[in-house]
Structure 1
Amino acid sequence: MALVACNVAKTPPQAAAPTAKTEEIKPAAKGGIKKFKDVIGKDAVTDEGVFTIHRVGEKYYYQIPDSLLGRDFLWISRFASLPSGLGGGYVNAGSSVNEQMVEWQKWGEKILLKSKSYGSVAADSLPIYLSVKANNYQPTLYAFDIAALAPDSAGYVIDVTRFLSSDVKAFSGLDADMRKTYKVSRLDDTRSFIYSVKSFPLNLEVKQDFTYDAAEPPTNSATGTLSILMNQSMVLLPKVPMQPRINDYRVGYFTIRQLDYGSEALKADEKTYIRRWQLVPKDIAAYKRGELVEPIKPIVYYLDPATPEKLRPYIKAGVEQWQEAFETAGFKNAILAKYPPTPEEDPDFSPEDVRYSVIRYVASTTRNAVGPSVSDPRSGEIIESDIIWYHNHLRSYRNRYLLETGAANPGARTLDTPMEELGEMMKEVITHEVGHALGLPHNMKASAAYPTDSLRSGPFTQKYGIAATIMDYARYNYVAQPGDPGIRFVRQLGPYDHYAINWGYRYLPDAKSAEAEQPTLSGWINEKSGDPIYQFGSGSGGFDPSSQTEGVGDDVVKASTYGLNNLKVVAKNLYDWTAAQTNDYDDLEELNDELMGVWSRYIGHVVTNVGGVYENRLRPNQPGYKYEAVTANQQKASVDWLLAHAFTSPEWLHQAKISRNVHHASYVDGIRSLQARHLNNLLSPDRMARLMENEINDVPYTALTMVEQLQKGIWNEAYKETSIDIYRRNLQKAYLDRMQYLLNEKPTVSRNGTPVSVSQSDIRSIVRAELVQLQQQLKSSQNRFKDDLSRYHVQDALVRIERILTPKGE
């Protein structure tokens, strides 16, 4: 019994069933189907591969074998090159635009390129299969006339020149929003061309150089032109899909989804499979005995020939560090990194060949690295992966290393970080990106698995690292304090990585179906239940303080306190570690801006505690609740910390030799912007909704409690009647602006935020009542301030409050 995609080929009513043999079509003497030699002449340039490609003058032809009609292909559309700023700067060269399954069908004297989906399926032996097929008819993406028969009469030749030269929406790099944003009117045929077409044994690669007329392009606006280089990859998928592995949301894997209409449930059964490479032991009997066994086909990454020689050992080590985790899954030498072969060693080597996974080294100022992969949408099998490393990325790590560890780590106090230390950072970044290519998403909960103070222990950090997984955004140990001996400051592979790879990749030879694997897989998870080291959290939603980006340790208040103590040491020495050494202010300015960002991150981690809810990924047969609010004491302590460290005047940041050398007049406003951002985050509708929920969950810290505590702290000068400095005056104005927003405007809730109706909740009642109390307090104290600016500020605040409480029109 086969499980077949919903949109299996459906013969058009007016057409006969697809012919089985090419010979049934007779070449026409004139027009229509011609003889092969009349189309593909002696001057044709031919490239053999999955399809044979013929170039005749300026025309391109595909020769499609009969055996590949009806086969499943994966079509990936990517940007090969693009203008700066396209997509708001969130799109890079190599970014995938679209992935879709396609198949080539013959219909009469035409070859059709059809879209195909495995999103809805049913076994072909079930009656409902007919309905699934009929109600999910696949679109035709393009229709080609058959130009000629293949010489051996076992295939068809089609002219693809117009197709590859056209702006076909299904494969275009410009979506509807981009076309609207940049006011794209048309593809200019006179300035567009087919850049290259190459065929390999399992894939076909096309590059298209497209130029559009665009009234408002992202760059070079005077030209009215937008040019992109698109890469179209067509990959032949295995004839028999790999046995999939059913996802369990308690372990982190990238997934594919299907709707199975053949389910016995009273609805279509949604099945989710993990994305992973297929690893099968060479010796299954030895594997079952518990011996380490090599896979029949290991995962192999080749280094880009453009990779600098000095970096190659670190990249190779980053890939092969995963061998440790695969050994936990029973495999030896499961993943390998190889230096690029010479033409003599492998004349067929090409990074574009889907048989080769490559770590590409890109000459770009982008500070990033990514680990995309191509997977079979029928089973989740990862077919190929190209890790992308952008040249300038190490600069980001050098900067963060200095800022986050410089207080406790003498080796980080320089712009000339030793190559050995940079190499260790690069190795771990590569390991992280390869983790994505193995199917592992970010696990932001792993950084909260270790007690915060354990990160000050040399033996602990050297053995366990700074987070339970390399897949967390826990780059550096900013908790360790000056004088702590033997500390590891850079992340590394952790125990969760061994656990996740074993769960996803261990071969189960006795399980003949995905369903048969589930008892074993679920049992492994239950064995680790309750151990924070083996928990998974995506960090999405922004409400779980134990699942945050860039954090380390299980106590965010303690970790941020340690981090801030270190940052104050770095700020005091930043000039001496940069400008004093280089006799230049550029690095000082860059690092000073990033230092502000680090301070902001420490603040943000504590903000998440307020209205925070821990997400525990549990099944109903496990004890506890999926969602558990942060305790009242923790929330109150977090607001106290914010009032003391985020909303006070940061005198420690103001150093004349920095501020007066990197900008002429933006320091005060920079502080205002940062503090206002976190204040607005605290007073956001979705956070207040979670705080209001505390009232019914017996957590005695509510939205009213938070606003009372926050208001008294931000306006404490009104109670103490001390002068109000410029930072505090700006902060207090930001507070009034936010209250105005909550009371009189229509606040929007972020897409992933907690839903709340502001007008029908307690939010406006709380805001109005607190503003009235603040108004009374300011009236009673306004004349006691000795300095003019404090007095004028309070007078202005009273006017603002009155306008908020009684806006025009009421």
Structure 2
Amino acid sequence: MKKLLLFSLILAFSIPQQANAQKKKSKKDKKTAQVAPKPKKSKPSYKTYVNSKTKSDDGLFHVHNNNGKFMYEIPKSHFEKEMLLVTRIKDIPAGLGGGYVNAGSKINTQVVVWEEFQNKILLKVKSYNAVANDSLPIYKSVKANNLEPIIYAFDIKSQNPDSTAVLVDVTKFFSSDIKAISALPSFYRARYKVRRLDPTRSFINSIKSYPKNIEVVQDFTYDAAAPPSNSNTNTITIRVNQSMILLPEDKMMPRIYDKRVGYFSIGNVDYSSEALKADAKRYIRRWRLEPKDVSAYNRGELVEPIKPIVYYLDPATPEKLRKYIKQGVDDWAKVFETAGFKNAIMAKYPPTKEEDPEFSMEDVRYSSIRYVASTTRNATGPSVSDPRTGEILESDIIWYHNHLRSYRNRYLLETGAANPSARTLDTPAEEIGEMMRMVISHEVGHALGLPHNMAASFAYPVDSLRSGKFTQKMGIAATIMDYARYNYIAQPGDKNIRFIRQLGPYDHYAINWGYRKLSWAKTPKQEVETLDKWIEDKADNPIYRFGGQRFDPSAQTEGIGNDQVKASTYGVKNLKIVAKNLPDWTSNQTNNYEDLSELYGELLGVWSRYVGHVSGNIGGVYEYNKKPSQDGFVYQPVSKEKQKESMSWLQENAFKTQDWLLDNSILANIDESGYTNRMLRLQNRQLATLLSTSRLERMIDASVIEPNSYEVIDMVRDLRNGIFSEANYTRNVDVFRRNLQKAFIDRMASIMNSKSPKHSDINSFVRGELESLNFQLTIAKNRRVNRMTKYHYRDCLAKIKQILDPK
């Protein structure tokens, strides 16, 4: 019995403990189960994104398309490789940018790299504004103070089967409003009151991959309260092209820029410099031309380049125009021979599908000349270059269909007096073709790296442009890169004249300077001594001078000849003949007045240009770019005699009423009114030019360095006396002169109220001239003139009083 009781007690104590132990164990197991790591999810396989239903395009990256979802398959070997991302407007709405933006316009160019970080692929912008040799300690500081911005971070979706490439989805990136690659800059957004990108009306049009580039076309639609056209839609739709181009790993040796020879350029700040400051460096933009046979090239023989510059014509180019476009490119081949290269540049007709099924105008390996069906009257010569070296990688020249109409009109207006074949709306096909050929040559020049050289037309004596022998050999300007389109100087009776521009001696000089291979030089700096010598050997010859269009009257757009007064005298003389015959050459032939109206408007523009060339002499300063080793000054004011001669010419040919422009047989057939306002706008433009603050300040400064200068106070007095010449006599003032005289007073008021420095002499002489004018008109209003003239003088006096004493 005792044994049984003992057993029962042991059992009673042991069972709860075991149960409790089991309970504790269960809780522990449960707790352990809760904190146990979940099994990792495996990434979707490659076949999830790339399978039999996927449309794939091989090239720089494999691009995969799954019903509008786009994947980039990025080779890991391409991480950190530098690529150029170029954003262009492919198609634009009418009126965008006020008509000054064209389809094909480049909006942004930036160097990018793809970089792996954790489980992301980063697209980063790499800047070359600041550089340093990566072997120097300062390189770390340059990197630290120029942190590269991240445009976008992509999730890695998967890897290809052999793990040599990653897959990222780029759909959202290219269908979102990413500011870094937007073709609608902030100032357009503000102007057109853009509210947002509408994702329901925006999409990726296409993505195509080529061996060295990827081309993305995006269609973006924005909600905009004030669109440039179709205002009732409150919408802007724009088509954007993104080009991503692999930059060469074998960098071209750059050539140091020199402003004495015209080249587009790229620049950066080099912190590797041994100077006591960061060294700003600038290199010219040019194609990479390497001779096939270096030894023969060094001996002075003509040698073909390893890779010539080739342009392909757009298949959309009309058949009848193709030969002229091709000639416009091929004409440069002779110029490159000056630099030692034969067959260096050429144009080719586009291959057929059978000849090259892979050919595409978007492929960066092919430069092209696009023919655009547009009412725009223009042509452009853009190119894409490596920002590290200036190497031009590709170029797409654009010709707009209506551009030939501008050339036909100007051919008639500027040469019609001396050139019988220009006196028609149906310009002979060969002459139109020659004009097109020269426009293409001009745009090719831009694509080769050459900017406008407006000083080249000043190299030739005016009377030489009336010589058939001279113009046939030398053309009408020293370069095709000037805006010297036609010979408007040649007079009726001059024989065998060349009227259309052509390539000139400066083009040969500039191409040789920029493209000749100096095989012995291993660094850009080693070339400089030779390049300097080439410039200085020709420094005294105006044919080889480069000049930019700013304050220099010898570098004006559309001018020809080395004497603006003489050239414009010939030009106006010819224009008077044209104006007299304009109805016979237009409306009398077509039996409508549309062409007469268009050409009369453009004739006023031509007259205004001739006047503007002479205005440029007033307060003008010649700029002769030099290095200190050369003799003479860089800046030289126009002589007092030339400025006074120009002022007399302007009074006679611009500010005096030009009755020859007021032919009733034209005006009474093209508009019911507006003649006086139109003339005032043109005269007022010249007035504002002469009385611009910057010009007046230049004249004040010129008096410091040139004792015998044309003083600003004398210029304003001469201008006032000429414009108000009737006030010195008993003469009535016609409506055109009344308008001009009031415009003079308004312009003087504008100067008084401007933000020019208060300590400047400008306000002093303006006040003095207005007081003199007040005295002059006070006497004139009492003379025996007609009622309108009296009212006009009283009005002028009231204006002057308000300016001098606004209280």
Q: After superposing the two structures, state which structure 1 stretch, 75-84 or 427-436, moved more.
A: 75-84
Deviations 1:544-568 (A, max 9, x none): 0001000000101111111000000
**Which of 748, 751, 755 is the equivalent residue of 1:742?**
751
Matches for 1:639-788 after TM superposition, within 5 Å: 639-697=647-705, 698-743=707-752, 745-747=753-755, 757-788=756-787
| 1:223 shift after superposition | 1.4
Matches for 1:231-380 after TM superposition, within 5 Å: 231-380=241-390
Matches for 1:146-185 after TM superposition, within 5 Å: 146-185=156-195
- In the alignment, the residues of structure 2 paired with residue 138 and residue 167 of structure 1 have an alpha-carbon distance, to the nearest angstrom, of 21
Q: After superposing the two structures, state which structure 1 stretch, 714-723 or 275-284, moved more.
A: 714-723
Matched with 1:40 is 50
Matched with 2:800 is 801
Deviations 1:594-623 (A, max 9, x none): 000000001111111000000010001101
**Which of 89, 92, 102 is the equivalent residue of 1:82?**
92
The residue type paired with residue 797 of structure 2 is: L
**Which of 460, 476, 491 is the equivalent residue of 1:466?**
476
Q: Does 1:443 align with 2:417?
A: no
- In the alignment, the residues of structure 2 paired with residue 568 and residue 264 of structure 1 have an alpha-carbon distance, to the nearest angstrom, of 63
Matched with 1:488 is 498
- In the alignment, the residues of structure 1 paired with residue 591 and residue 798 of structure 2 have an alpha-carbon distance, to the nearest angstrom, of 50
**Which of 524, 536, 539 is the equivalent residue of 2:546?**
536
> Compared with structure 1, are the counterparts of its residues 39 and 606 closer, same or farther at alpha carbon in structure 2 (3 Å cutoff)?
same
Q: Does 1:123 align with 2:122?
A: no
Contiguous gaps of at least 5 residues in structure 1: 1-27, 748-756
Q: Secondary structure at the match of 2:748?
A: helix
| 1:30 shift after superposition | 7.0
| 1:781 shift after superposition | 2.6
- In the alignment, the residues of structure 2 paired with residue 798 and residue 41 of structure 1 have an alpha-carbon distance, to the nearest angstrom, of 86
Identical positions, percent? 61
Larger radius of gyration: 2
Contiguous gaps of at least 5 residues in structure 2: 1-37
Q: After superposing the two structures, state which structure 1 stretch, 78-87 or 202-211, moved more.
A: 78-87
- In the alignment, the residues of structure 2 paired with residue 766 and residue 716 of structure 1 have an alpha-carbon distance, to the nearest angstrom, of 20
Kindly tell me the number of residue pairs found equivalent between the two proteins. Answer: 769
- In the alignment, the residues of structure 2 paired with residue 227 and residue 113 of structure 1 have an alpha-carbon distance, to the nearest angstrom, of 26
- In the alignment, the residues of structure 1 paired with residue 763 and residue 174 of structure 2 have an alpha-carbon distance, to the nearest angstrom, of 58
Q: Secondary structure at the match of 1:112?
A: strand
Matches for 1:549-698 after TM superposition, within 5 Å: 549-697=557-705, 698=707
| 1:699 shift after superposition | 3.0
- In the alignment, the residues of structure 2 paired with residue 776 and residue 663 of structure 1 have an alpha-carbon distance, to the nearest angstrom, of 40
- In the alignment, the residues of structure 1 paired with residue 757 and residue 488 of structure 2 have an alpha-carbon distance, to the nearest angstrom, of 38
- In the alignment, the residues of structure 2 paired with residue 680 and residue 144 of structure 1 have an alpha-carbon distance, to the nearest angstrom, of 55
The residue type paired with residue 147 of structure 2 is: Y
- In the alignment, the residues of structure 2 paired with residue 686 and residue 32 of structure 1 have an alpha-carbon distance, to the nearest angstrom, of 70
| 1:39 shift after superposition | 2.4
Matched with 1:9 is none
Matched with 1:404 is 414
Runs of 4+ with >6 A deviation: none
- In the alignment, the residues of structure 2 paired with residue 59 and residue 778 of structure 1 have an alpha-carbon distance, to the nearest angstrom, of 78
- In the alignment, the residues of structure 2 paired with residue 151 and residue 300 of structure 1 have an alpha-carbon distance, to the nearest angstrom, of 39
State whether residues 32 and 147 of structure 1, in contact with CA within 8 Å, keep that contact through their aligned partners in structure 2. Answer: no
- In the alignment, the residues of structure 1 paired with residue 71 and residue 326 of structure 2 have an alpha-carbon distance, to the nearest angstrom, of 40
- In the alignment, the residues of structure 1 paired with residue 563 and residue 414 of structure 2 have an alpha-carbon distance, to the nearest angstrom, of 18
> Compared with structure 1, are the counterparts of its residues 725 and 124 closer, same or farther at alpha carbon in structure 2 (3 Å cutoff)?
same
Q: After superposing the two structures, state which structure 1 stretch, 435-444 or 150-159, moved more.
A: 150-159
State whether residues 207 and 232 of structure 1, in contact with CA within 8 Å, keep that contact through their aligned partners in structure 2. Answer: yes
Q: Secondary structure at the match of 2:688?
A: helix
> Compared with structure 1, are the counterparts of its residues 699 and 31 closer, same or farther at alpha carbon in structure 2 (3 Å cutoff)?
farther
Q: Does 1:228 align with 2:227?
A: no
Q: After superposing the two structures, state which structure 1 stretch, 595-604 or 83-92, moved more.
A: 83-92
- In the alignment, the residues of structure 2 paired with residue 636 and residue 795 of structure 1 have an alpha-carbon distance, to the nearest angstrom, of 31
| 1:741 shift after superposition | 1.4
State whether residues 371 and 433 of structure 1, in contact with CA within 8 Å, keep that contact through their aligned partners in structure 2. Answer: yes
| 1:758 shift after superposition | 4.3
| 1:665 shift after superposition | 0.7
The residue type paired with residue 526 of structure 1 is: E
The residue type paired with residue 139 of structure 2 is: Y
> Compared with structure 1, are the counterparts of its residues 32 and 615 closer, same or farther at alpha carbon in structure 2 (3 Å cutoff)?
farther
The residue type paired with residue 529 of structure 2 is: P
State whether residues 32 and 146 of structure 1, in contact with CA within 8 Å, keep that contact through their aligned partners in structure 2. Answer: no
Matches for 1:385-404 after TM superposition, within 5 Å: 385-404=395-414
- In the alignment, the residues of structure 1 paired with residue 486 and residue 40 of structure 2 have an alpha-carbon distance, to the nearest angstrom, of 72
- In the alignment, the residues of structure 2 paired with residue 483 and residue 382 of structure 1 have an alpha-carbon distance, to the nearest angstrom, of 46
| 1:783 shift after superposition | 2.1
| 1:694 shift after superposition | 2.5
Q: Does 1:500 align with 2:498?
A: no
TM-score, structure 2 as length reference:
0.94
| 1:206 shift after superposition | 0.5
Matched with 1:96 is 106
- In the alignment, the residues of structure 2 paired with residue 65 and residue 722 of structure 1 have an alpha-carbon distance, to the nearest angstrom, of 85
Deviations 1:747-781 (A, max 9, x none): 5xxxxxxxxx3432111111111111122122223
Q: Does 1:455 align with 2:465?
A: yes
| 1:58 shift after superposition | 2.6
- In the alignment, the residues of structure 2 paired with residue 646 and residue 65 of structure 1 have an alpha-carbon distance, to the nearest angstrom, of 67
Deviations 1:289-336 (A, max 9, x none): 111111010000000000000000000000010011100000000001
Deviations 1:254-279 (A, max 9, x none): 00001110100011111100000000
| 1:804 shift after superposition | 1.8
The residue type paired with residue 550 of structure 1 is: E
State whether residues 33 and 146 of structure 1, in contact with CA within 8 Å, keep that contact through their aligned partners in structure 2. Answer: no
| 1:795 shift after superposition | 2.1
Q: Secondary structure at the match of 2:782?
A: helix
| 1:31 shift after superposition | 5.0
Q: Secondary structure at the match of 1:668?
A: helix
- In the alignment, the residues of structure 1 paired with residue 345 and residue 505 of structure 2 have an alpha-carbon distance, to the nearest angstrom, of 18
| 1:377 shift after superposition | 0.6
Matched with 1:22 is none
